[in-house]
Amino acid sequence: MIILEDVEYSYDGIYTALRGVTLQVDRGESVAIMGTNGAGKTTLIKHFNGLLRPQAGNVFLEGKDTSQMSVAEMAKIVGLVFQNPDHQLFLESCKKEIAFGLKNLGFTQEEAEERCDQTLSRLGLEGFAERSPFALSGGERKRVALASVLATEPDVLALDEPTIGQDARQKESLARMLMEMNKKGRTVIVVTHDIEFVIEHFPRTIAMSDGQIVADGDTSSVLTHEEVLERCSLTLPQMTQAAKALRHRFDNVSDRLASLSDIESIATTLLEGA
Amino acid sequence: MALVKFDDFSYKYYGADSLALKKINLTIDNGEYVVITGPSGCGKTTLCRAINGLVPRFHRGYIAGHVYVDEKDTREHEVAHFAAIAGLVFQNPENQLVTLNVEKEIAFGPENLGVNPVEVRRRVEEIIDLLDLEHLRDKHPHEMSGGEQQRVAMAATLALNPQILVADEPTSNLDPKSAEKILEIISTLNKRGMTVVLVEHRLDLVAKEATRVVLMDRGRIVADGTPTEVLVADICQDIGVGIPKATEIYKRLNAKGLRLGSVPLTGEELALLIQEGTV
Ligand SMILES: Nc1ncnc2c1ncn2[C@@H]1O[C@H](COP(=O)(O)OP(=O)(O)OP(=O)(O)O)[C@@H](O)[C@H]1O
Ligand SMILES: Nc1ncnc2c1ncn2[C@@H]1O[C@H](COP(=O)(O)OP(=O)(O)OP(=O)(O)O)[C@@H](O)[C@H]1O
Ligand SMILES: [Mg+2]
Ligand SMILES: [Mg+2]
């Protein structure tokens, strides 16, 4: 469990990137954090593993006040993937990159290799083990960064923009991995601008703007709340836009967050009736 | 002659096992808005780098065939020569940003091209205003959020006033409103004559403004046509490329024998077509 109480943080003492953030994420939840560029999302999740320390307020991890915990202790519980893979990758092969974290956690060479191979293959990186992480495409680099954390299966996964540079198929396999880990009791927290990814996989959404949490709740209610969308620079997803436009004409169309199959069945009924 | 012409162009990065681009033939004319898409690792960034000469002049490797930009062979001219013609917005904005603050970053490109100082100032102010960067003016480019960096990278490239804007996933770090806004600006510049080559995975964002979609897979071009032609083709799903949800609905309805009047790319278009189909 992660608890933040009135957390404040400023990089330069002038502008405040987090202005009193309070939140609780329970063990086994999956949560998306969305919102305006510069709202403080990256700053916020760097507090989860102690990379940044609150200048005011408190952070609790598994019931413990983190001001008493080292980054090494916190990093055993929370695995963080950076928004920019350049800030994460530093070894000469993908395999070493992934084995590094596993060895730190006490896995044997054999176990580490098995997990490494498994994770690479699940993220569409078969045959990448010996390649340098510096000679890859952008999307591949991001997946190596993800692999290095996912391979360790930490209790809490905190992923900053995990879908950047990913095509639909890679996004799908990533989501499947995250949901499997979630089912096994891991907490999954993603920061993302990808609304479709959130709607399909995350029941809870936290929306931020200007260093504060503007809304925190059911994804379907947060992402259909006009004022929240406006303040947090979010837009309605395509299917919900379609539902809204159809609602002007047909009163049996609901205005909640619509999925592909919702619209497909509405359209089928309407067109077959015509 | 076309503004950009790939003539049987192949390329392999130094030390790589396989070709990143395989016998690419592609011509892009003045005024087009071309979206390049395809699975991660298929060669989109390499293609962008070949348009402004970074491949092969900066990224060394094996090369066969030619790329002509504004009728000049990229093998025979310095990268600097193409800077004024084809402005590249890097996939990873941090790698593009080299100066100490945002204002200097935007001025850097045109200053290096020898644009006169008065004009440089004018462009800097215009672009700060256009891209909403006033509050970031004095910030260090490496002390900003990912999305802020990406907006600055776009600003720095637009300041070159390039004939072709080559933008490599320019909205990947942007919040949805900001992505909409940047794409609107790009589309306006395209209507005023700027040629656009834009790499994007999320086709729902860009398909409606593009004049053409080029689909790549494993170093090759596998489809090339209008957005609706390409996105409705089964090859997209076959190679794992996501199509707009509205287009997906069109295809599903079609499979049930329910035909919409045309292929929708947005939610509104879809809603309109369904209404038309029920009258
Ligand atoms: N290293 C830094 N030094 C100074 N200011 C910073 C630094 N990193 C971020 N900031 C500022 O702190 C604020 C919050 O940044 P943060 O990276 O947390 O935003 P974000 O919500 O993750 O945005 P994005 O969606 O663009 O990634 C922004 O105004 C940003 O300019
Ligand atoms: N510097 C490099 N050295 C060796 N191989 C490279 C290098 N950069 C990219 N590659 C390889 O070349 C191929 C094409 O890479 P490219 O970056 O063009 O792909 P992309 O389509 O842009 O992918 P993404 O969507 O992930 O950004 C990939 O197989 C990649 O692994
Ligand atoms: Mg961020
Ligand atoms: Mg790329």
Write out pLDDT tens, residues A11-35: 988 889 999 999 999 999 999 999 9
Q: Do A137 and B41 touch (CB under 8 A)?
A: yes
Does ipTM top 0.90? yes
Whether the predicted pLDDT of A254 surpasses 90: no
Rounded Cα distance between B5 and B47, Å, is 12
pLDDT over 80 (residue A237): yes
Which residues 230-259 of chain A have a CB within 8 Å of chain B? 232-246, 249
CA distance A147 to A17: 29
Residue in A84, A237, A246 nearest the CB of B274: A246
For B30, B115, B159, B238, the CA distances from B194, given in Å and listed in that order, are: 8, 19, 13, 33
Provide mean pLDDT across the span A85-92. Answer: 93
Q: CB count, 10 Å around CB of B24?
A: 22
What is the mean pLDDT of the segment spanning B61-77? 95
| pLDDT category of residue B242 using cuts at 50, 70 and 90 | very high
Ligand 1, atom 25: nearest CA belongs to which residue?
A37
Across chain B, what does the average pLDDT equal?
Answer: 96
Confidence band, pLDDT 50/70/90 cuts, at residue A249: confident
For A58-80, how does the pLDDT look when each residue is reduced to its tens digit (9 = 90+)?
999 999 999 999 999 999 999 99
**What percent of chain A has pLDDT above 70?**
100
Estimate to the nearest angstrom the gap between the alpha carbon of A56 and the chain centroid: 25
pLDDT score for A250: 77
For residue B57, the model assigns a pLDDT of 85
Ligand 2 pocket mutation pick from B44, B48, B88 by most atoms within 8 angstroms of CB: B44
Q: Which pLDDT band, with edges at 50, 70 and 90, does A125 fall under?
A: very high
Segment A223-252 mean pLDDT: 90
Contact assessment for residue B195 and residue B27, using Cβ atoms and an 8 Å cutoff: no
Report the residue of B14, B102, B272, B274 to disrupt the A interface, i.e. the one with the largest count of A CBs within 10 Å.
Answer: B274
Q: What structural domains does chain A harbor?
A: 1-70+188-234 (3.40.50.300), 236-274 (no CATH)
Q: Which of B168, B172, B182, B273 to mutate to test the interface with A (most CBs of A within 10 A)?
A: B172
Q: How far apart (Å, rounded) are the C-alpha atoms in residues A107 and B159?
A: 51
- Separation CA B141–CA B158 (nearest Å): 17
CB of A140 less than 8 A from some CB of B: yes
pLDDT at residue A200 is higher than 90: yes
Give the bridge partners for B224, in sequence order: B214
Instruction: Give A 141-170 residues with CB within 8 A of chain B.
Output: 143, 161, 164-170
Whether B148 lines ligand 1, by a CB cut-off of 6 Å, is yes
Q: B227 preceded by cis ω (within 30°)? A: no
By CB atoms closer than 10 A (0-12, 13-18, 19+), residue B248 is buried
State how far Cα B138 lies from the chain centre: 28
**Is A242–B91 a contact, with Cβ atoms under 8 angstroms apart?**
no
Cα separation values, B231 from A38, A178, B41, B59, B215, Å: 33, 28, 20, 32, 9
**CA gap B157, B178 in Å, rounded:** 17
pLDDT-derived band at B37 (thresholds 50, 70, 90) equals very high
Q: State the Cα–Cα distance between residues A48 and A60, nearest whole angstrom.
A: 9
> To which residue do tokens 């504060």 refer?
A212
Share of chain B above pLDDT 90, in %: 94
* Lowest-confidence region among A1-15, A168-182, A247-261: A247-261
Size of interface A-B (CB pairs under 8 A): 168
Task: Say whether A238 and B267 touch across the interface (CB within 8 A).
Answer: yes
Encoded tokens for B208: 């409606």
Please say if the pLDDT value at position A83 is more than 80.
Answer: yes
What is the helix (H) or strand (E) element at residue A218, kind and residue range? Answer: strand A212-218
Can you give the pLDDT at residue A253? 75
Question: Which tokens is A149 given?
Answer: 């954390």
Q: Collapsing DSSP states into helix, strand and coil, what is residue A133?
A: coil
Quick one: average pLDDT of B174-182? 97
Ligand 4 center–CA B21 separation, angstroms: 13
Two structure tokens written together for A108: 């044997």
- What distance in Å separates the CA atoms of residue A271 and residue B125, rounded to the nearest whole number? 52
Pick the ligand that lies closest to the CA of residue A159.
3
Q: Which long-range contacts (CB under 8 A, 24 or more apart) does A110-117 make?
A: A115/A151, A116/A147, A116/A151
Rounded Cα distance between B244 and B259, Å, is 18
The angle subtended at Cα B184 by Cα B127 and Cα B92, nearest 5°, is: 65
How large is the average pLDDT for residues A122-149?
96
Q: In 3-state terms, what secondary structure has residue A28?
A: coil
Distance from B187 to chain A by nearest Cα, in Å?
A: 19
Residue A156 has φ and ψ, to the nearest 5°, of -125, 130
Best mutation site among B237, B249, B254 for testing chain A: the one with the most A CBs within 10 Å? B249
Q: Average per-residue pLDDT in chain A?
A: 95
Distance CA B33, CA B228 (A): 14
Predicted pLDDT of residue A248: 80
- Chain centroid offset of residue B241 CA: 17
**Other C-beta atoms lying within 10 Å of the C-beta of residue A13:** 7
β-bridge pairing B212-217 and B33-37: parallel
Q: CB A64: neighbour CB atoms within 10 A?
A: 13
Query: What mean pLDDT do residues B133-161 have?
Result: 97
Which one is predicted more confidently, A218 or A104? A218
Average pLDDT over residues A240-259: 82
pLDDT band at B80 (very low <50, low <70, confident <90, very high): confident
Give the C-alpha separation, B119 to B108, whole Å.
13
| Ligand 1 neighbour B144 (Cβ under 6 A) | yes
- The protein residues having their C-beta less than 5 angstroms from ligand 4 (an ion) are A 137-138; B 44-45, 91
Q: What is the CA angle B132-B138-B143, rounded to 5?
A: 90
